[in-house]
Amino acid sequence: MKRRKVLFIQLSQIRLLAKKFAIVILFLSAFIMMLVNKTDTVIIEKTSSMATDVVSPLIDVLVVPARTLAGVFDYFRDLSKIYDDNQKLRSENSRLQVISDKARALEIENKLLSRLLNYTPPPNAKFVTARVIAEEGDAFSHSIIAYTGRNSGVKKGQVVMSDNGVIGRVDRPGEMYSKIILITDINSKIPVMVERTRVRGILSGDNTSVPKMIFIPLSAKLTVGDRIITSGVAGVFPPGLPVGKISSIEKNSVKIETFGNLDRLEYVKIIDYGLDDGTSVETAAEEAGE
């Protein structure tokens, strides 16, 4: 009995001593593992750096042919594009050459016809740039006042244009300022024609932003979008000046959208073509109405 008790006590002491040593062993194991891990990281980093130093020059050498091939590919691709562009330019040049030849032929023909008809070309145009200082837009009139300055040579009936087209004519010239009646004014009558078909008519203002083309032949073939230019009839506006385009065609009304923006005029050109004073415009409109 005593021997069993002594043996039990000895086993208990051994277990307690084993537990104490186990804790110390665990701490030592953890420390050794941390040290090994740290040592391995340094080794891996050094190995990686050495590998980079060794492999990088090799990669650089291998990349040179690849770069050369890429450069050759880009060169031939650009060369092919240049060839295509050159072909297009040659085709365009040929087309323009044909147009140029036709234009020269028409020029020669025009000169011959002019000689046969004893045609007298219009005088060179002179113009004055004027700043718009006031607008008169109401139910009774559409006109503007422009500062023309002294000794500008502005006269009644001279053509007034914006950068895009005809906008009106001089109504009352003054010493410093001039009144310009717009083509949208109800009193404005301009002989015009359709550029495509050469059909003539009168552009008549109605105090709206879209004037009408009146006195058109019933057989006229008009299309929305047709350009309207001055016809030169009555001798006030020379032929060929841009006016607008057809915006709508109704039964008894052909509306014209003007090229010039009449709502935002700041500067205008008053042009002297050396023609009439404007009184024959109304005469031409009356004759067309008859």
Residue in the structure block whose two tokens are 């023309």: 148
HSE of 63, CA atoms in CB hemisphere, 13 A: 6
> In the prediction, which pLDDT does 193 show?
92
d(CA 224, CA 14): 114
CATH (domain of 258): 2.40.10.350
3-state secondary structure 91-156: HHHHHHHHHHHHHHHHHHHHHHHHHHCCCCCCCCCEEEEEEEEEEEECCCCEEEEEECCCCCCCCC
Kindly report the pTM of this predicted structure. 0.56
Statement to judge: residues 92 and 198 lie in one domain: no
Q: Which amino acid is at 185?
A: D
pLDDT at 176 over 80: yes
Of 121, 148, 171, the one marking the end of a domain is: 121
Number of domains present in the structure of the chain: 2
Statement to judge: residues 106 and 214 lie in one domain: no
Q: Is 17 within a domain?
A: no
pLDDT at 146 over 90: yes
Q: What is the pLDDT of residues 202-241, one digit of tens each?
A: 999 999 999 999 999 888 889 999 999 998 887 778 888 8
| Mean pLDDT value of segment 175-182 | 93
- Domain holding 55, by residue range, is 34-121
Listed in sequence order, the residues at least 6 apart from 91 whose beta carbon sits closer than 8 Å to its beta carbon are none
Statement to judge: residues 113 and 145 lie in one domain: no
Q: Is-contact 251 268, C-beta < 8 A?
A: no
Statement to judge: residues 84 and 38 lie in one domain: yes
Statement to judge: residues 131 and 100 lie in one domain: no
d(CA 170, CA 158): 5
Q: Which amino acid is at 78?
A: D
> In the prediction, which pLDDT does 245 show?
95
Q: Is-contact 144 169, C-beta < 8 A?
A: no
Q: Is-contact 238 273, C-beta < 8 A?
A: yes
Statement to judge: residues 116 and 130 lie in one domain: no
Of 121, 143, 168, the one marking the end of a domain is: 121
